[in-house]
């Protein structure tokens, strides 16, 4: 057992040494308390995905989608702002959400790889969004009743928004999958490309075990089953097929990213880093 100590504090500190965290291979610098690391994973997913969505602003296929994608981006960045804010508070090193967003290196980011991939065409953006939304809804639904009051409150608020996001992306997946031959082929190709990034969303490591001490106990297998049921239902309606024998990619949760993240961050952080200490 990872967690044997009797007090939560001791239990948490018992699993944060670099040696123990290294069980899953190499990893970037860690952030002390597992709950901080855990919140960064949630916050970074939403910040990076919100950033990718915001790249569509002014370039959408129809005006209504410019509005919808901006709205979803806004919700995701808003959620990340709360999650990173809480992470900073619990870290206790005087770093607020902005410090965490704009002054961390790529290897210190904890988002899943799927959210950092370039936006691709509208079909790729929608398919990625759908796979993430379904994951987010099942995860936040569980977190909304977890024993960590701060996180539960954020999860409950974001869950309401994410249910709308899931409805929006599901409808589009069906529309594109079932639309024309071209749209079907495009969105099937996106699904084929994206599928290998979905395994990481349900990985479980020492951080997940350690946060049990602060009341966060998610059954990843159960969440995965719920996610699969949502995904299978929508993909079936969209006449799309899940690719077989996919080797899953992994690494984001340990700071081992694709090359895309560095470029994204160099854009996102450019102004803030050019003026360290400035107020905006």
Partner 1 sequence: MTQPTTVTADESALVAAFEARIAAGESIEPKDWMPERYRRQLIRMMSQHAHSEIVGMLPEGNWITRAPSLRRKMSLIAKVQDEAGHGLYIYCGTETLGVDRHELVEQLLDGRAKYSSIFNYPTLSWADMGVIGWFVDGAAIVNQTILAKASYGPYARAMVRICKEENFHKRQGYEICATLANGTPAQREMLQDAVNRFWWPSLMMFGPSDTDSPNSAELLKWRVKRKTNDELRQRFINLTVPQAAAIGVTLPDPDLKFNAETNNWDFGEIDWDEFFQVIGGNGPCNRERIAARQQAQDEGEWVRAAATAHASKQHRTVQAA
Q: Which is nearer to partner 1, 210 or 261 (CB)?
A: 261
Which residue in the set 77, 117, 138, 191 belongs to the binding site for partner 1 (CB under 8 A)?
A: 77
Nearest CA-CA partner of 24 in 219, 200, 212, 213: 200
Residues 6 or more apart whose Cβ sits within 8 Å of residue 162: 75, 133, 136, 137, 140
Does position 275 interact with partner 1 (CB under 8 A)? The reply is yes
Q: Which structure tokens are listed for 156?
A: 């409950």
Instruction: Give the CB-side neighbour count of residue 278, counting CA atoms within 13 A.
Output: 9
Site string for partner 1, 116-145 (x = CB under 8 A): -----xxx----------------------
Question: In this chain, which stretch among 78-86, 219-227, 228-236, 249-257 interacts with partner 1, using CB under 8 A?
Answer: 78-86
62 scored as a contact of partner 1 (CB under 8 A): yes
What string of DSSP letters covers 210-243?
Answer: HGGGGT----HHHHHHHHHHHHHHHHHHTT--PP
Stretch in the footprint of partner 1 (CB under 8 A) among 34-42, 51-59, 142-150, 216-224: 51-59
User: Smallest gap, in angstroms, from Cβ of residue 54 to partner 1?
Assistant: 5
Quick one: angle between helices 34-54 and 122-143, nearest 10? 150
Return d(Cα 183, Cα 180) in angstroms, integer: 5
Contact positions vs partner 1 (CB under 8 A)? 47, 51, 54-55, 57-67, 70-71, 73-74, 77-78, 80-81, 84, 97-98, 101-102, 121-123, 174-176, 178-180, 182-183, 186, 267-268, 270-272, 275, 277-280
């Amino acid at each position: 057992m990872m967690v044997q100590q009797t007090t939560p504090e001791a239990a948490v500190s018992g699993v944060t040494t670099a040696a123990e965290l290294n069980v899953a291979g190499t990893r970037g610098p860690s952030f002390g308390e597992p709950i901080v690391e855990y919140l960064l994973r949630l916050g970074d997913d939403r910040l990076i995905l919100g950033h990718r969505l915001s790249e569509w602003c002014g370039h959408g296929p129809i005006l209504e989608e410019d509005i919808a994608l901006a709205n979803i981006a806004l919700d995701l960045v808003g959620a990340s702002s709360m999650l990173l804010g809480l992470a900073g508070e619990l870290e206790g090193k005087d770093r607020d959400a902005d410090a965490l967003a704009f002054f961390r290196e790529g290897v210190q980011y904890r988002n899943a790889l799927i959210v950092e991939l370039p936006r691709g065409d509208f079909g790729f953006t929608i398919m990625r969004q759908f796979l993430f939304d379904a994951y987010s809804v099942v995860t936040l639904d569980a977190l909304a009743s977890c024993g960590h009051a701060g996180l539960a409150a954020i999860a409950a608020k974001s869950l309401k928004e994410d249910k709308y996001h899931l409805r929006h992306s599901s409808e589009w997946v069906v529309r594109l999958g079932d639309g024309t031959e071209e749209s079907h082929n495009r969105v099937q190709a996106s699904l084929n490309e994206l599928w290998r990034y979905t395994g990481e969303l349900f990985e479980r490591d020492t951080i997940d075990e350690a946060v049990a001490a602060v009341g966060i106990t998610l059954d990843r297998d159960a969440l995965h089953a719920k996610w699969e049921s949502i995904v299978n239902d929508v993909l079936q309606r969209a006449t799309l097929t899940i690719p077989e024998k996919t080797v899953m990619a992994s690494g984001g949760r340990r700071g081992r990213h694709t090359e895309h993240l560095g470029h994204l961050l160099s854009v996102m952080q450019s102004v803030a880093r050019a003026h360290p200490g400035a107020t905006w």
